[in-house]
Amino acid sequence: MGEDVSGPQEDAEGPSGPQLARAVLDAALAKRREAAARPRRRGSGTGEGGGRRLRGYSGPGPDPRDPQLFGDVLQRLMKARGWERPKAEATVFGAWEKVVGPEIAQHSRPVKLDAGVLTVEAESTAWATQLRLLAATLLRNIAKEVGHNVVTKLNIHGPAAPSWNRGPRRVQGRGPRDTYG
């Protein structure tokens, strides 16, 4: 019961709480003063870590400060941000003629790409049949142009049938049957 509570307490492990914070701060200040007192050497070519100092002229040989080709910089940026797959998917739509060839591109168009399944709409049912027969070749050409596993399956269909659901006043019913004769 006769313990002294007025003074700072030190555990058997060392200072704690505010004392520990003060000790860390004093050590950091002493290290900073010591570093400021040391004279700096100029022209050594190395920094504190032993790496190259990036000042002045780059000199002969490649250097990270040298001008870079825009395409290379853009490629590194796309890879760093994970935009390679969206770029490949956009290439399928943007360069359809280059991907499948001019004749096929003239008679078909990509509609949507969802989970590796590319939906292609042909201009006629005959072209849709031909494209279904060429599906394996088209998949190889697409993989060669944009990369593997971007398009894994083709869903090819013909043109959409005409809709008779037009107009502000439409009567519900069976639609046009033998009404033209």
pTM value is 0.48
Identify which of 53, 29, 27, 28 has the alpha carbon closest to the alpha carbon of residue 40.
Answer: 53
Q: Are 151 and 142 in contact (CB under 8 A)?
A: yes
Tell me, which fold does domain 81-157 have in CATH?
GMP Synthetase; Chain A, domain 3 (3.30.300)
Q: From first to last of its 181 residues, what are the pLDDT tens digits of the chain?
A: 444 444 455 555 667 788 888 888 899 889 888 888 887 765 544 444 455 566 666 678 777 778 888 988 888 888 888 777 777 777 888 888 888 888 888 888 888 888 888 888 888 888 888 888 888 888 888 888 887 888 888 888 888 766 666 667 766 766 666 655 5
Q: Please tell me whether residue 88 adopts helix, strand or coil conformation.
A: helix
| DSSP reduced 3-state for 86 | helix
Tokens 């005409």 label which residue? 162
Per-residue pLDDT at 141 = 86
For residue 176, CA distances in Å to 20, 70, 138, 161, 171 come to 89, 59, 38, 14, 11
